[in-house]
Amino acid sequence: MDRYKIIKEVGDGTFGSVYRALNKQTGEVVAIKKMKRKYYSWEECINLREVKSLRKMNHPNIVKLKEVIRENDILYFVFEYMECNLYQLIKDKVKLFPEAEVRNWCFQVFQALAYMHQRGYFHRDLKPENLLVTKDLIKVADFGLAREVCSQPPYTEYVSTRWYRAPEVLLQSPSYNSAVDMWAMGGIMAELLSLRPLFPGSSEADEIYKICSVIGSPTQKSWAEGLQLANSINYQFPQLPGVHLSVLIPSASDDATNLISSLCSWDPNKRPTAAEALQHPFFQSCYYVPPSLRARTAITRTPPSVGTKTTLEQRSTRRYSGTFSDTKPLRNFSSAKANTTLSPGVVPKKLEMDHQATNKLDKSVKVVAKQPQPKYRPPARNSPTSLYTGGRALRGVSDATEKLAQLTVSTGKVVAPPSKQQASAPPPRMKAGGWHGHTTDGFLGRPTHEIPSARNHSRRVAG
């Protein structure tokens, strides 16, 4: 620890205190977490959940563990430094965050969660205090309660700060999975858009009451397993109709409330995964489609109908037009960016394309075939255009060039019909998918009479 100079304490929790420090050798500012309990061997340190999980993960939206130091039986974690956490931004905010800023933050967190869940871990303690922010960059931190998906239940009852705790955990379910992180993200997202906690319960029972008052009480149809969990601990749900989220978060868009509704579903199996959440229309504007993908898509444009006379503009002879699709993305997918769907019809984009050999012969005009052409057959050795015939092949190319040079194009029709070598059948249409998430009708109910202010809620920070 002699290499670091402590600047000031920036946080204190149940398990440790966090300090801002300076690396004397490199001048880098870091965050050092000093654990409160003592560790008497390296084996104890290496087997800590936080160490095991962070050693296996390397993602731009997950805080980096730079070093682990054990000195005088005291354990220190050295992390990259982030300016503040999301809770500090929320409590000091007077005006609402722009939805675009909330979208950017949530998009990054869902990317981190998708990466984490894919590698067999779920966080279990997601809350604004554990989301660290520096300018537009946000990172998930504090993996002290992280569990492996494949680890054996029963899990501990206390998982996260009560306001972001999933109902299956509140009802003491012995087994749960990464869906608890998705519930927490629904609450965090709602809080970012309203600057108020969505379910600010003062106890476990009050927390469930708050949840019922917002999304309505569970039924046999909506969550049969939850009713069984409640019966096993002799708990009876309050019968409340719930309220539409647009009443509680009037500034939020329909896509935003729809996503929050899906994330805050009673049944864990009905919540979208992190990968599916990234495909929700709420995040559609976050995707950048690289030029290489646009180029491949431009080739597969919709072909003209058979028999339709089509004249291409002269400016399109060197370019193809590609478009972004405004259709909703597919829910099931393997990679968010890989499945971004493209199709013609919305925002035109001109994309550079490599010409085929036949197109190089004609840079002034392209003629679309009016009738389907026969399948291509490779030339035989005795064919006039075969590469094996020497000078005859060159003469055939020269004749074709002269014929193409004599063609003219008008706005009404094609003067000269295309030859079989010039025309090629366009490839079939690409199909676009749609978001198969939950509708916004899941939270219909009576509006609440009063929306509590964020100033009335006290928050206890757990390390």
Residues annotated in the binding site for ATP, as ranges? 34
Place of tokens 């709602």: 190
Within 13 Å of residue 276, how many CA atoms lie on the same side as its CB?
17
From the number of C-beta atoms within 10 Å of its C-beta (0-12, 13-18, 19+), residue 430 rates as: middle
Active-site positions read 125
Diameter of the chain measured on Cα atoms? 93
Beta strands in 24-72 (DSSP E): 29-38, 65-71
E strand or H helix at 134, and its extent?
strand 131-134
4 has which bridge partners? 23
Residue 185 near residue 106, CB atoms below 8 Å: yes
The first and second tokens of residue 311, run together, are: 């004249």
Q: What is the dihedral of CA 417, 420, 421, 426, to 10 degrees?
A: 90
Runs of H (alpha helix) within 124-165: none
From the number of C-beta atoms within 10 Å of its C-beta (0-12, 13-18, 19+), residue 177 rates as: middle
Q: At a CB cut-off of 8 Å and minimum separation 6, what does 284 contact?
A: 326, 328, 329
Nearest to 198 by CA among 454, 463, 421: 454
Q: Which residue type occupies 58?
A: N
Integer Rg of the chain from CA:
30
Beta strands in 43-111 (DSSP E): 65-71, 74-80, 84-85
- Sign of the CA dihedral with 352 first, then 354, 356, and 362 last: positive
